[in-house]
Structure 1
Amino acid sequence: MIKINDLAIPTLDDVDFSAKKVLVRIDVNSPIDPKTGKLLDDSRLRAYNTTIKELVQRGNSVVLISHQGRPGDDDFVSLREHAEVLSKYLEVNVEFVEDVMGPYARERIKKMGKGEVILLDNVRLVSEELIEASPAQHAKSYLVRRLSPLFDGYVNDAFATAHRSQASLVGFPIVLKSSAGRLMEREIFALAKIFNPEDYPKVFVLGGGKVLDSVRIIENLVKKRMADRILTGGLIAELFAVAKGLDIGKENMKVLEKLGILSLVPRARKILLAGGPIEIPVDFKVEKDGNVIEEPVNRITGVIKDIGSTTVGIYSSFIKEAKVIVMRGPMGVIEDERFREGSKKLLEDALESPGYLIIGGGHMISVLGNANVNSSKVHVSTGGGALLLFLAGEKLPALEALSISSSGMKV
């Protein structure tokens, strides 16, 4: 059982899934070529090997359920190819069932033998799956009422969709014995490290272009006093520099104005006045007249593209002393090799530090590249939106539902 905040989440170690029929919610939502309808990236599918193999080895019959895209979008396709890819990685035949909860799907599930694995078609073919509602409401949905009697238990391994309150995520735990899968377990363990007051100092490295999201995260971190240091880069660093009254140059102010970021200056000032442990760069790597130079934060004349070398040194010293490091978003314009150094160096130092490192998906994964990762001290989140919302102080309905299931509480 993993405890996080006021939730107790059961894992596969807490629930007896042996020689049972188990429904497993995964998230294989992947980039799709709009012209061919084929998968462009299958990394998400590889992530479920551990959970599915373990359940099969325990002698269970496993039914997988997932979504792909949204109705009306180019990536809203059948999961037939997903089943083929899963078969390849699992080295077990994953049978595709072109149905979700109709007579054909239910009959096939009833006839499953020990160790068989099937993947139902795109769950968003069922309109109920597009509705956000409470676990109690979804427990009464047709999807849950038609499928749940066929199963002995339910496993949720889809952390990336944990922020959704949809039938396949929150309805089944109310009526079936349930647990988190191994991928979900790793994500919750990482979140628990962030929220555990005994794991300190905690350093958050926040960059990238999603400034409003970062401001919301910082507000929650400061309010709950979860961060010992918040190291900023990218546009969020420019925002806080302006909030501190620094002149970052006309060109950079134009960029912030064009992106609507200047409207966030009052919120950034409020965070600073509340004593937020915000660090901004002391120097930046800028582009000026086609040249790349470094300039101190109080004398910026070029267009900011990355943090400077002095800032890298200061930030690295904080990272090396941290017990928990959370990195979300790059420090500069990493698409241009000239401005990748700040993000790369901080990530290298974080990997070499004794602290537990959580990489919050997105662009930082691309910076990680083929670097060797020690899974016992490094967690690369698959969460994206779920991780972001949890850090911003919002509840994750899928975790709430698993906790309700473990307590046997009526809803």
Structure 2
Amino acid sequence: MNIPTMDDLNFTDSKVLVRIDINSPIDAKTGKLLDDSRIRAHIETIKELTSKGNGVVLVSHQGRPGDSDFTDLEQHSKLLEKYLGMEVEFVGDVMGPYARERIKNMKSGSVLLLDNVRFVSEELIEASPLQHSKSFLIRRLQPFFQGYINDAFATAHRSQASLVGFPLVLKSSAGRVMEKEVSALAKVFNEEESPKLFIMGGGKVLDSLRIIENLVKRRLADRILTGGLIAELFAVAKGLDLGKENLQVLEKVGVLSLVPRARKVLLSGAPIEIPVDFKVEREGKVYEEPASKINGVIKDVGSTTVGIYSSFIRDAKIIVMRGPMGVIEDERFRESSRSLLMNSLESQGYLIVGGGHMISLIGGLGSLDNSKVHVSTGGGALLLFLAGERLPALEALDMSFREMLKK
């Protein structure tokens, strides 16, 4: 695909609609935002546009109808003001007369945030870009703008109106967040960038298995290191006895039903490594035990495994780390994930970090070298990208690019 960037269009003294993703975790009791990292991520794109005299209108969503985090975007606007260092006008409307009036009268270089786009029912529909381009949301807002920028990689896997409809009716490009995400993840599919090492952990076993199946099918991975529940799945698939307690846990969360799929991946010759030892909890105490003799509930990979995995990390050119090795909510089981993360950061390879848990560990490490590290904002989008599936928002930008070439 050809994804145009802000450098290709270079909007100046225009009105630009920018789709961002500031969907953030919210405390169900207080209604306050718990994390503003996604808000901060878009500051570069917005500042660049306003510095060129563009009037910037932001559109985003928060939660889903019926969920506790489904709310308006007023407090998001205050945080945008804080990080931009300028006024952000919050408009309690999306496409009605008030919103259109505020857009019409906005000044050059100013910023306006429309309310939660999911207040509009059309945004909840998954449909083709062509169908969405004819929606009321697009038809009512499009006349006010000279361009559209999609900076919302985290929602790129959705085929919703604000993500795929505007590129068919406006000059469109990726924003800086989207550009960085696509550029970083493209390294995974670059044959010249090798060896490629994937560190797969966490509790989302089906998601991780889908990624691994795609990596193996497309021969993208030189080695896949496993931790968390995905490691236990492959351990069982290899015939290891993890003990009654762990099998009960795997059965309860539906992992054992995936054993045939995991076994099929192994039989294909996939370069998958499983832990040689684990940290287990038994009667409230922590022990390290070999994978062949487990007595306790598995909570992390062991120190020998960390040493082996670290030796693989040293030789890698691309490292993708998705999900922790253990139950990092408990401080006793954070060390392996932290060690592998530190070793990856200190290696010569380019590190791509995805998943909220790993990002939370990175948060305490201080400043990072952006030339060597990419921290993905994407959850589902990152998963589907690595699993080789289509991202409608990127396809819409590609369609827009091809239409521009015709004119």
Per the shorter chain, which TM-score range?
Answer: over 0.9
Judge which range, 364-373 or 337-346, deviates more: 364-373
1:334 aligns with 2:328: yes
1:250 corresponds in structure 2 to: 244
1:4 corresponds in structure 2 to: none
2:2 corresponds in structure 1 to: 8
The correspondence of residues 6-405 of structure 1 with structure 2, limited to 5 A, is 7-371=1-365, 372-405=367-400
- Cα shift readout 1:153-212 (whole Å, capped 9, x = no counterpart): 000001111010000000000111001100111111111011111111110000111111
In structure 2, what residue type is equivalent to 1:147?
L
In structure 2, what residue type is equivalent to 1:393?
G
In structure 1, what residue type is equivalent to 2:95?
M
Q: CA offset at residue 125 of structure 1?
A: 1.1
Q: CA offset at residue 36 of structure 1?
A: 3.7
Q: CA offset at residue 368 of structure 1?
A: 1.8
Distance in 2 (alpha carbons) for counterparts of 1:155 and 1:224: 31
SS of residue paired to 2:348: coil
- Cα shift readout 1:301-328 (whole Å, capped 9, x = no counterpart): 2221111111111101111111110001
**Shift in CA distance, 32/292, structure 1 to aligned 2, threshold 3 Å:** closer
Distance in 1 (alpha carbons) for counterparts of 2:324 and 2:237: 21
Distance in 2 (alpha carbons) for counterparts of 1:110 and 1:369: 40
**Shift in CA distance, 352/390, structure 1 to aligned 2, threshold 3 Å:** same
Judge which range, 128-137 or 73-82, deviates more: 73-82
Distance in 2 (alpha carbons) for counterparts of 1:334 and 1:39: 22
In structure 1, what residue type is equivalent to 2:15?
K
In structure 2, what residue type is equivalent to 1:331?
M
Distance in 2 (alpha carbons) for counterparts of 1:264 and 1:78: 40
Give unpaired runs (5+ residues) of structure 1: 1-6
Distance in 1 (alpha carbons) for counterparts of 2:258 and 2:28: 36
- Cα shift readout 1:246-295 (whole Å, capped 9, x = no counterpart): 11112111111121111100000000011111000111111233332211
SS of residue paired to 1:154: strand
Q: CA RMSD in A?
A: 1.2
Structure-1-length-normalised TM-score: 0.96
Q: CA offset at residue 101 of structure 1?
A: 0.8
Distance in 2 (alpha carbons) for counterparts of 1:17 and 1:77: 32
In structure 2, what residue type is equivalent to 1:125?
F
SS of residue paired to 1:45: helix
Judge which range, 25-34 or 176-185, deviates more: 25-34
Q: CA offset at residue 37 of structure 1?
A: 2.9
Q: CA offset at residue 361 of structure 1?
A: 2.4
Q: CA offset at residue 383 of structure 1?
A: 0.1
SS of residue paired to 2:337: helix
- Cα shift readout 1:341-398 (whole Å, capped 9, x = no counterpart): 1111100000000111000121111222321311111011110111011111211100
Give unpaired runs (5+ residues) of structure 2: none
- Cα shift readout 1:213-247 (whole Å, capped 9, x = no counterpart): 11111001101111010000011111101101111
- Count of residues paired in the alignment: 404
Distance in 1 (alpha carbons) for counterparts of 2:286 and 2:73: 47
Judge which range, 164-173 or 383-392, deviates more: 383-392
In structure 1, what residue type is equivalent to 2:361?
V
In structure 2, what residue type is equivalent to 1:52?
I
Q: CA offset at residue 72 of structure 1?
A: 2.0
- Cα shift readout 1:76-121 (whole Å, capped 9, x = no counterpart): 2111121121111101111011111111211221122210110111
In structure 1, what residue type is equivalent to 2:376?
S
Distance in 2 (alpha carbons) for counterparts of 1:230 and 1:310: 17
In structure 2, what residue type is equivalent to 1:101?
M
Judge which range, 340-349 or 283-292, deviates more: 283-292
**Shift in CA distance, 107/305, structure 1 to aligned 2, threshold 3 Å:** same
Distance in 2 (alpha carbons) for counterparts of 1:305 and 1:75: 30
The percentage of counterpart residues that share the same residue type is: 75
